[in-house]
Chain A
Amino acid sequence: MNIVVAIKHVPSTADELELNDDGTNLDFDEVDFVLNEFDEHAIEQAVLVKEAAGGEVTVVGVDVIEELDGVLHTALAKGADKAAKIVGDIEPPINSHTHARWLADAIGEMGPDLVLTGVQAVDDLDGQIGPMLAAHLDMPYVGVVTGVSASNGSVTVHKEYPGGVMAEFEVSLPAVIGVQAAEKPPRYAPISKIRQMAKSAEIEEIDADEDFEYEGCELRQMAKPVSAGHAEMLEGDAEEVAEKIIALLEDRGLL
């Protein structure tokens, strides 16, 4: 089975985020990029499907800040077989519509049976790329999926609803699946193996169609959300904080 994983390199939200001068997006010079956390699960799920049903896994992403190689080397070290990056005169932010269009162009050429991608990403303000890929590639889509198993030209997937309820679907291939979580936690790739991939692996380069422009939304302003309130902060060292918490609970009859 020919499995393709579409990934996104996204701003890390672990650190404090700074805005650009006109307040319309992040200051991308000041932010680290990481692999979208749901894409880590998509990669893991792809490797699990390959291990169970055979085939080949190709990981492809847009090289937003020219630092995607490390992500691709890690994917290869985890069991992907091939890696590709979409390159060109690219600068962040690259919106989801553009991501999806470029990825669909590339993936269409790969003739996949199964396309996996993270169900969402922290920067998909204009929508998630999974359903967009499905629309471009004219394939069915099921998202919010936590398990994929393949057999005889179809996949069986589990889609999550609130309260721990799941629906099982059978989906004819080729199809696009939006992965919420892989069946198993994403595996660890030893540094030595990643280094080895960095030395030996070949990453295919695919030219972005730079003429494509999505101008669906005028982004007027970005700001830290105005919150209705803020926690009253408990000051002091750990012992003092612990005492204050216990006092709060006692006051409310919770102890």
Chain B
Amino acid sequence: MSNDILVIAEHLGGKVADISYEMVGKAKELAAAWGGQAIAVMLGSGMAEQAGTFASDATLYVDDPALAEFNPEAYGRVVAALVEEKSPRLVMFGSTSVGMDLAAWLSVKKDMPCVAYVNDLTVEDGELVATAQIYGGKMAAQCVPQGDAAVVSVMAGAFPADAGRGSTAAEQIASPADLSDLKVRFVQMIMPEAGDVDITAEEKLVAIGRGIGSEDNIELAQELAEALGAELAASRPITDAGWLPKTRQVGKSGVTVKPKLYLMLGISGAPEHLEGMKDAELIIAINTDENAPIFDVAHYGATQDLFDVAEAMLEALE
């Protein structure tokens, strides 16, 4: 076993995702404590330039046409081969659409313990201590992975990205694994439908969540939004139910917004939603559950019934 850390970088549309830099920055700190190297690993095709943008101790760039777009099977084969070859002490993935396909798979495949949803990592007496969120962010768990090597998946935004940006020259290598006969084949990217409002460009948003209860109640939220000169945004359950178009979804698989006002009606604040709005300038949350995680993030909060407050606001604004 080495004392090195492999950071599996991510990219989409030719752009390196911030989570990659966030992990590299943290990996450098941990590797230094262990006397090892933080090695950024980029998989792609024609991405040599982007592979040279990390502040890592070393960077490996695996170039193969089969890796041009993310493919969980192809990526899995390459990462497993690199783990075999390098025997890293830690492999870091993002807790993202990419990393969530790979981290737990690698854990079973290579018999390495796994900690998911990690938002802090420290080395104490040489041991890795991972703090992870669990139960929808209502609890934080401190875990010590056992054995010689571990896998973690790290929450976006847990660590600063700037610490991982740099200009370490990447060593370009051919795929260490056979990438023929893949059972998973990338077909195409599907871009979001244009036409609806771009909520990332709005200064004021009224965001609705599960607490709105039924589709009929959206009208009230819409009226309030209009009275405030705002647009409607939503958390995942609302768009999944088809009550608002997908373009209105804020959070991990939706968009990230930084409006001047984010007024939240009936959103409890699941980590996936917080990821998309925590940097809004003014966050006001109305939710009947006084223990809802959203109140740790909002600037102002109220536990009144959201319908009563919305109606009272409408009346006062008229």
Query: Which of A's residues lie within 8 Å of B, judged by CB?
Result: 11, 13, 16-17, 19, 26, 41, 96-97, 100, 119-120, 122-132, 134-136, 139-144, 156, 158-172, 175, 178, 180-181, 185, 215-234, 237-239, 241-246, 248-249, 252, 254-255
Contact = CB atoms under 8 A, between A and B. Distances in A.
A127 B142 contact: no
Contact of A231 (B113, B132, B295, B304): B295
Given A171-B184, A227-B296, A232-B299, A126 B97 contact: no
A68 B214 CA distance: 28
Interface stretch (B22-30, B83-91, B166-174, B189-197): B189-197
16 contacts: A97-B107, A123-B135, A135-B107, A140-B184, A161-B97, A216-B107, A217-B143, A217-B145, A218-B144, A223-B139, A231-B295, A241-B309, A242-B313, A245-B263, A245-B302, A249-B228
Contacts of A120: 100
Contact of A238 (B69, B109, B304): B304
Contacts of A180: 253
Contact of B316 (A26, A230, A242): A242
Interface of B is mostly: mixed
Interface residues of B, number: 101
Interface in B278-318: 282-286, 291, 293-305, 308-309, 311-313, 315-317
Given A161-B12, A171-B183, A254-B261, A135 B145 contact: no
Nearest to B117: A125
Contacts of B313: 242, 245-246
B253 A169 contact: no
Given A216-B114, A231-B285, A246 B317 contact: yes
Interface of A is mostly: mixed
A132 B241 contact: no
B137 interface: yes
Contacts of B36: none
B116 interface: yes
A165 B12 contact: yes
Contacts of B229: 255
A215 B146 contact: yes
Given A128-B100, A129-B104, A254-B260, A164 B241 contact: no
Given A181-B236, A216-B114, 19 more contacts: A13-B135, A13-B136, A13-B138, A132-B104, A166-B189, A167-B190, A185-B241, A185-B242, A217-B115, A221-B141, A233-B301, A234-B301, A234-B302, A238-B311, A241-B286, A243-B312, A246-B313, A246-B317, A254-B228
